A and B are shown apart, each in its own frame.
Chain A
């Protein structure tokens, strides 16, 4: 059972190199598809949506997956969603190199899966409720309305060097899930792929590695240059 995929980027938006790659792949596959006898030809589907975008093309113009201020959550209530999006940006904020988790659609990703999985929904519903209750008891306001220093104070307790402090033990499971899924969402997004510097998912006529990388690793290894 395949999930519907996001709309493919129109061919006209692709840089030339990627377009050629795409045509090459699709053209080549026609040979294989043509080999299928009449048995399947009648229900031959469209090719699985693929943008044909190389990692370089992704990095040149990394698409934001932020659903924007008017995003309508699929499972979470609007307040929960805003809280999660903000929490995500505290877990993975913008830095000099790349934007924050909201540009990776982290909250949208988690919200979508909560709409598909009750166990996950329970973890996030309960965790977000716990977080607000904790902040209200401690500071008199919910997480979103509390001061930046109050917000980071709870993250220090949750993710600090000593791990989950007893004071935030009730939120421990939620904090683990939230960080895991925010980080997952980040690096499976265009901004994350650009940030980490993955260069593949493309078509090459031969394989080689740059001498610069070989020299770099050898020089730093016990084997010397």
Chain B
């Protein structure tokens, strides 16, 4: 007979989730001498075993297709080579999608969460991003300003290590940067094209170490950050924050722990956490003085909504009813092209850091009469990458068969370029998640149901992206790989860019928001949410750096409140 196992020990702070937000919370609180217990739904990470850095394709007999040829049948969850346990479909953990909606939900189940899987692009939100409503009347103002956030960005960048240069763009505030990485050849061509078109192309801002900091070695420029970095030169919360915190003796990690419910006492405070111990499939309860939820925007909303009680019938911290609402993701659109100038270029190693060395910040902020509000940045791909399954199928198909295949492949290698637009979505009433009361996951926990709708703003932005990328490619003398363009079909699906935010938003008014300006629940002062759920908007700047900065600020505030005896 299974019984709920209740531990009498009262933990100082229980942190749920070990990604950017959870990792930051763990680091900050343990540095301040507070005992932290970390719940992670996945297993422990062992970089030496789990990261496939530097492995050649032929060193595994399936060469990267997956052990059962998954990639050949579209069944691969995430590239075989990339850091493990990232899923578009977590086995046994389904979710529902409303009719007429499309949504994809990427989840990581491993220590470090999605910091193992992300692109490490690290962009500050701008002043107007925190006050969008004041800026142009759309969206929701944050209860904090850029000036308040700036010192926390300094800390976050200083600790993570972010490349960059001082450029003075209002849309892309400068930060506390490590030296940039010189551009690759195709990136120099993009810079020239940008100059002609008045589009700025500046050094990218990426969380890779061009200098060793905090005991982490400098980058060795193998370009394989996505596989996971053995030397921790590419930022992950696991390697940079959690492993060092383990050495302090202040951190206890419980892996394979799927948080099920936050438990509330008679005063309406959190008294503990109920979680499923996956190994035994049994429920366990631990007691806590305070809880920091950082399970990812939608998982955090799910946990709050599933924490129903007499005191909180709509879920904990949800008296306002906003939990799950105003779900946003980034607007995504990509266009590739082929640049003849690069054909048969002298071969050289251009691995560099994983991802782009230069990027385009939003450059039309001051333009009048735009077809859409806000803006997007442009990410650039290209170069002589390590050949992989699929790299030369196109060349082969053009060449037919015989020696012509090799000739065509040699000529085309390194000539493809890709532009990816990453733009701001305006929060709307029709994009949200809620509990699907008819379905549970394999742990018995009710699942989420997603509702999604892009607005005309986003569709028009995708048209602008397409036109811009086309002129960049053509200005480089290239040919667009165009298979017909329709912005409504070409826009990414909700969730696909993996920048979900906004589901437990902060604000000054408890009737319209769940959290205060320190990401502390209005109704429950010993509850903090520390991922992208508190975000009031989702600018064209990837969420991770702001998750770290905001979580850092929230953790220090929580520590102060605990010290004062308020929590």
Please give the residue numbers on chain A whose beta carbons come within 8 Å of chain B beta carbons, in ascending order. 1-6, 8, 24-25, 28-29, 31-33, 35-37, 39-40, 44-53, 55, 58, 65, 90-93, 95, 97-98, 105, 109, 112-113, 116-117, 119-120, 155, 158-161, 179-181, 183-190, 192-193, 195-210, 212-214, 216-218, 220-223
Contact with A196, one of B54, B188, B410 (Cβ below 8 angstroms): B410
Closest residue to A97 on the B side, CB-wise? B406
For B346, B388, B410, the residue with the greatest tally of chain A CB atoms inside 10 Å of its CB is B346
Contact with B253, one of A39, A49, A155, A223 (Cβ below 8 angstroms): A39
Task: Decide yes or no whether B562 CB sits under 8 A from chain A.
Answer: no
Are B46 and A25 in contact, CB atoms less than 8 angstroms apart?
A: no
Are A29 and B413 in contact, CB atoms less than 8 angstroms apart?
A: no
User: Which chain B residues border A190 with CB–CB below 8 Å?
Assistant: 56, 58
User: Which chain A residues border B58 with CB–CB below 8 Å?
Assistant: 6, 65, 105, 188-190
Which of B394-402, B426-434, B435-443, B534-542 lies at the interface with chain A? B394-402
Are B222 and A201 in contact, CB atoms less than 8 angstroms apart?
A: yes
Are B48 and A33 in contact, CB atoms less than 8 angstroms apart?
A: yes
Are B48 and A221 in contact, CB atoms less than 8 angstroms apart?
A: no
Closest residue to A41 on the B side, CB-wise? B46
Are A116 and B221 in contact, CB atoms less than 8 angstroms apart?
A: no
* CA gap between A5 and B107 in the complex, in Å: 27
Chain B interfacial residues counted at CB < 8 A: 93
User: Which chain B residues border A29 with CB–CB below 8 Å?
Assistant: 47-48, 230-231
Which of B66-74, B260-268, B457-465 lies at the interface with chain A? B66-74
User: Which chain A residues border B59 with CB–CB below 8 Å?
Assistant: 5-6, 8, 49-51
User: Which chain B residues border A47 with CB–CB below 8 Å?
Assistant: 48-49
Contact with B345, one of A31, A183, A213 (Cβ below 8 angstroms): A213
Are A179 and B396 in contact, CB atoms less than 8 angstroms apart?
A: yes
- DSSP class of B's interface residues: helix, strand, loop or mixed? loop
Within 8 A of A (CB), among B35-77: 44, 46-65, 67-69, 72-73
User: Which chain B residues border A105 with CB–CB below 8 Å?
Assistant: 58
Are A203 and B56 in contact, CB atoms less than 8 angstroms apart?
A: no
| 9 CB-based A-B contacts, threshold 8 Å | A35-B244, A50-B59, A51-B59, A160-B400, A180-B393, A183-B405, A187-B409, A196-B413, A217-B186
B317 vs chain A, min Cβ distance (A): 32
Task: Decide yes or no whether B189 CB sits under 8 A from chain A.
Answer: yes
User: Which chain B residues border A208 with CB–CB below 8 Å?
Assistant: 182
Are A5 and B55 in contact, CB atoms less than 8 angstroms apart?
A: yes
With A35-B243, A95-B406, A196-B409 as known contacts, state yes or no: A113 contacts B65, CB within 8 Å.
yes
Among all A-B residue pairs, the 3 with the closest Cβ atoms:
A188-B57, A197-B347, A200-B351
Are B67 and A116 in contact, CB atoms less than 8 angstroms apart?
A: yes
Closest residue to B396 on the A side, CB-wise? A183
With A32-B230, A32-B243, A183-B392 as known contacts, state yes or no: A209 contacts B60, CB within 8 Å.
no
